[in-house]
Amino acid sequence: MYGYKKGVAVVTGAANGIGRAIALRLADEGCAVSLWDVDGAGLEAVAAQCRSAGVAVDTRVVDVGALPAVREAAAATTAVLGEAPRILVNAAGIGQVASILDGSPEEFDETMRVNVRGTYNCCHVLLPAMTAQRGGNVVNIASWFGKSGRPMSLAYCASKFALIGMTQSMALDLARDGIRVNAVCPGTITDTRMREAADRQAVAKGLPPATERVHMIPLARLGTPGDVANVVAFLISEQASYMTGQSINVTGGLWMN
């Protein structure tokens, strides 16, 4: 436990997988949490778990790719929880197993809309209050696919490369305001809807699922959402107070750069 100063954290993509694990970890650290996702039923299940940690919880069914919806969710979060968020974790994301040859323009646009524009929207709306308070933390969930181009992942790679660039640029722009911006780059993570969808698409195209690629991972196991949440919790803590603009791998040694 890092002994956070109490504050409000917004976690996008909080209904499942990595976002859910992050929301639970931040609640355990004492943060009031606002959980954002398009899956209302999933949000309520996570909210119940967060409340058991004794913190205030707000849920918002919101499409982060739609700027008006993000503005509305931000205003409602501040009104319900009584203060503007000082922590933002952009975990909402989608992806497809597809190359330039078999992926559609519509799929590409939707991936960029959710992964890149969604992160932009949340930062654009929530960061002014953090600058006014002279402090805050942003963590973007990127991917090791944002550091190395991978086959059959054109749109996803493009979106995650963009997130790493955004992370570095925002870190430079916001450092003078006491705001740190970092990214986490997960490797092959199990127990997420994205993993399940990617495995289905891979198998349909004659490619191996994640469980058949474990031998490629030096630590010889798939990652868990909790592995990612632990690193997010560290980056938000005062123990990481001299870190900004970093993109931290959580890959079991699969990627080291």
Catalytically active residues, by annotation: 156
- Tell me the C-alpha distance between 104 and 108, whole Å: 6
Q: Do 250 and 227 contact (CB within 8 A), yes or no?
A: yes
Lookup: tokens for 239:
């123990």
Distances in Å between the Cα of 188 and the Cα atoms of 17, 122, 212, 257 are 12, 26, 11, 16
Residue 179's DSSP bridge partners are 136
- Tell me the C-alpha distance between 46 and 24, whole Å: 8
Give which of 66, 54, 59 is closest to 42, Cα–Cα: 59
Give me the numbers of helices (H) and strands (E) for the chain, helices first please: 8, 7
Q: Do 36 and 64 contact (CB within 8 A), yes or no?
A: yes
Lookup: tokens for 237:
């803590």
- Tell me the C-alpha distance between 88 and 33, whole Å: 10
Residue type, 173: D
Neighbours of 113 (CB within 10 A): 17
- Kindly calculate the radius of gyration of the chain based on its CA atoms and give it in whole angstroms: 17
